[in-house]
Structure 1
Amino acid sequence: MTTRPHSQQLRSGCYSQSGQIYLLTVNTRDREPFFGRFETGRLVVDAFRKAQEEQFAHSLAWVVMPDHFHWLIELQEIGLSKLIARTKSRATVTFNRLMQREGSLWQDGFHNRAIRKEEDLQTVARYIVANPLRAGLVTKIGDYPLWDAIWV
């Protein structure tokens, strides 16, 4: 059996590659709807923007749902685990300060999928931003305030 380079790291989720495009999904602890209000959802958006300003990730599309987020990124000069840890931490600190609470907001870990070059990124982005429609939160995507895509 031939072993590909980094295959063990890929299986364990600890390998990431600068310049690679990833679809990331992060759930809240016990699927609590911490981000059901526009004001609290914007805290996650601010964490996405900070990651882009620091040149850790180039955001291609995202949606913040009440109990999770999807984020399509091109990874820059940081590992996925560090990017997600910083994003979770930033959102948690500002959320806890705003809501005068303590404690974690997020489940441990995250889901990621490397996007192959032949996949249509706009199709992946449409899937992401249509999440509120599939969840029944709105009848038109334009009615949901917590999403963006570079193609729009």
Structure 2
Amino acid sequence: MANYIFIINDINYPKVKLSAETMVNLLLDKNRWLFVGKGTPHLYELRTNDNITIYIAGKGRRYFLCCAQIQTPIQEVDLSNVEDNEFDLYNLFNYFIRLKNINFFENKKYMKDLIEDLSFIKDKNNYGLYLRRSIKKINDEDFIKIS
């Protein structure tokens, strides 16, 4: 079983503007997570029962929200099964997985409080460099410290 951080930030395209919080609410309400596709790091390594934690990036945020496990293998997004209020979001992505055992932290876990103890962050002053892609694979020890 592997451990991953799923990283999300606002989408700010000319025709689509969605806050990270809005996307997280829409996705987790349906136990789902979306991915763009082939360029997504670690996408094809994701397996059922792998552990994930969700990190909300961006100015004024920078916190871990919850932990969960992967329930299903990667699937293609089918826009015919998407509700109207979700179309703009799902239309931007090609793949999704279902999640299970979603456990929201009682309090948000801010990066500033964890950074010194996380081994995957080598340069503590520039930790954002380690969270620039949508998926980050981490070791068991770091996952435990976050969760």
Name the TM-score, length of structure 2 as normaliser.
0.34
Q: Structure 1 or 2: larger strand share?
A: 2
Q: Structure 1 or 2: larger helix share?
A: 1
Name the TM-score, length of structure 1 as normaliser.
0.33
